[in-house]
Amino acid sequence: MPPWSNSAGTRLSGASDDAELRIICGPTGAGKSAVALALAERVGARILSVDSRQIYRGFDIGTAKPSAADRARVAHDGIDIADPSERWSAARFAEYAHASLASAERPMVIVGGTGLWLRALVTPLFSEPPLDAPRRTALADALDARSTEELRRWVQQLDPARASLGRTQLLRAIEIALLTGQRISALHAASAAAARPARWLVVDPGVRLAAQIESRLDAMLAAGWLEEVRSLAARVPEDAPAWKASGYARLRAGGDARAVRDAILIETRQYAKRQRTWFRHQLAEAQVTRVDPYDPDCAGIVHRWWTGEGTA
């Protein structure tokens, strides 16, 4: 447990109520929820959870959903808002989140690790122009046999800003340009222009993360995660989107307990690695404050980030 997390401290004053979003993020198991909970309690804020698995009712232990006690301490939005069989896109969640933010009567601490959903909250996803299905199919057939380098030459003419990307993105750029007469880079730019200002606090304990993920996994299993999965399996269809939450499908499939546990551990650590990469490359460094929850000055860093007084 980070050394500051149970300190009572003096109640902090919140930042001014403005359009700027304040977002706490980081890899799974890093301790961002504890940081957000302590901050929200001190400044009298609500928490908006941005987690693509915590939205599902009943999927509690394996998603590290805030406990009933934590939710009694601080009100949470974004938790238990969907049935397990519902499919939620980033755009749908962003619509829900903006409604929550607009109706909030107190400051909102945004916390989560689902990168695409966080990006959709800050920068609206562009509205794709309608595509004619038969023409789209014919174009896909025509492009399928062409080499990646040939596709790249096409994109250099059609949408130069996308020419350095991979094959999938090249195909997408050609499709949008030829079927709609618009450049996908221009559509992205228009969305970026509508972006809301944001400050980011990236929580990451560094080398401690691997051990934290392992200890949290063992705590989840000890808390009855397998029993939760068995109960859900009796009433939730196997193809429900909620089963995609890390570890649930493996527990449902069964097998040697130790082997399943180790497979979930590897899967979770790999997910955390992808999250770290996303937060390192997708966020503008000037808008980012980084904090190790074990830093003795963690509470001070979080306070300065929240109030906009600078970084440590």
Q: How far is CA 89 from CA 51, 82, 159, 174, 226, in A?
A: 12, 12, 27, 24, 28
Higher pLDDT, 222 or 281: 222
The helix-helix angle for 298-307 and 32-43 (nearest 10°) equals 60
**CA gap 288, 305 in Å, rounded:** 9
Is the pLDDT score of 9 beyond 70?
no
Pull the structure tokens for residue 15.
């930042």
pLDDT of residue 15: 39
Mean pLDDT value of segment 290-304: 96
> Bridge partners of 25?
112, 202
Q: What is the pLDDT of residue 194?
A: 60
Long-range CB contact pairs, 279-287, < 8 A, 24+: 279/25, 279/26, 279/27, 279/115, 279/200, 279/202, 282/115, 282/119, 283/200, 283/202, 287/198, 287/199, 287/200
Burial of 16 (0-12, 13-18, 19+ CB in 10 A): exposed
User: What average pLDDT does the segment 102-113 reach?
Assistant: 94
What CA–CA distance (Å, rounded) separates 69 from 72?
5
Q: Quick check: 192 pLDDT over 70?
A: no
CA distance 244 to 115: 16
For residue 13, pLDDT beyond 60: no
Model confidence over 258-291: pLDDT tens digits?
A: 999 999 999 999 999 999 999 998 898 999 999 9
Task: Read off the pLDDT of residues 232-244 as tens digits, 9 standing for 90 and up.
Answer: 999 999 999 999 9
Q: Which domains does the chain have, with CATH numbers?
A: 21-124+197-307 (3.40.50.300), 133-193 (1.10.20.140)
Give the chain's mean pLDDT. 90
Contact of 21 with 10, CB cutoff 8 Å: no
